[in-house]
Chains A and B, each alone.
Chain A
Amino acid sequence: MKLLVCVSKTPDTTTKISFTDGNTTFNTQGVQYIMNPYDEWYALVRALELKEQAGGTVTLINVGPKANDTVIRKGLAIGADNAVRVDIEPASAFATAKQIAEHAKAENYDAVFLGKETIDYNGAEVGAMIAEMLDVPFISFATNMTVEGNTATISRDIEGGSEVLEVATPFVVSAAKGLAEQRIPNMRGIMTAKRKPLKVVPPVDVPDLVSVKGYELPAEKSECKYIDPENMDELVNLLHSEAKVI
Chain B
Amino acid sequence: MAILVYASSAEGKLKKGALEAVTYGYKTAQILGTEAYAVVLGDVEDAGQLGKYGATKVYQVADASLNDFDGQVVAAVVADAAKALNADVIVTSNDSAGKTVVGRLAARLNAGCLSGVNSLPTTDGGFFVKKNVFSGKAVAEFELKSATKVLSVMGNTFPPEEVASSVSVESLSVEVPASRIKVKAVETVKGTVPLPEAELVVSAGRGMKGPENWGIIDELAGLLEATTACSRPVADIGWRPHHEHVGQTGVAIRPNLYIAIGISGAIQHLAGVNQSKTIVVINKDPEAPFFKAADYGIVGDLFDVVPRLNAALKKFKG
Contacts and interface: CB of A to CB of B under 8 A. Distances in A.
A141 interface: yes
B194 to A, nearest CB: 4
Contact of B103 (A14, A97, A227): A97
A201 interface: no
Interface in A97-140: 97, 119-133, 136-140
Contacts, number: 271
A163 B185 contact: yes
A232 interface: yes
Specify the main secondary structure of chain B where it touches its partner.
Answer: mixed
A202 interface: no
B296 interface: yes
A124 B115 contact: yes
Interface of B: 10, 15, 70-72, 75, 95-97, 99-104, 106-108, 110-116, 128, 132-146, 180-189, 192-194, 196-197, 199-200, 224, 235, 242-243, 245, 248-250, 252, 256-257, 267-268, 271, 274-275, 277-281, 291-301, 304-305, 308-309, 311-313, 315-316
Contacts of B185: 163-164
7 contacts: A122-B132, A166-B182, A209-B145, A210-B143, A210-B145, A225-B296, A243-B278
A157 interface: yes
B278 A239 contact: yes
Contacts of A235: 280, 296, 298, 309, 312
A125 B106 contact: yes
Given A120-B134, A163-B186, A14 B268 contact: yes
Please provide the 10 A-B residue pairs with the shortest distance between their CB atoms, ordered closest to farther. Answer: A128-B103, A229-B300, A209-B112, A161-B188, A132-B107, A160-B194, A232-B312, A125-B103, A159-B194, A245-B257
Given A157-B96, A229-B305, A232-B312, A97 B249 contact: no
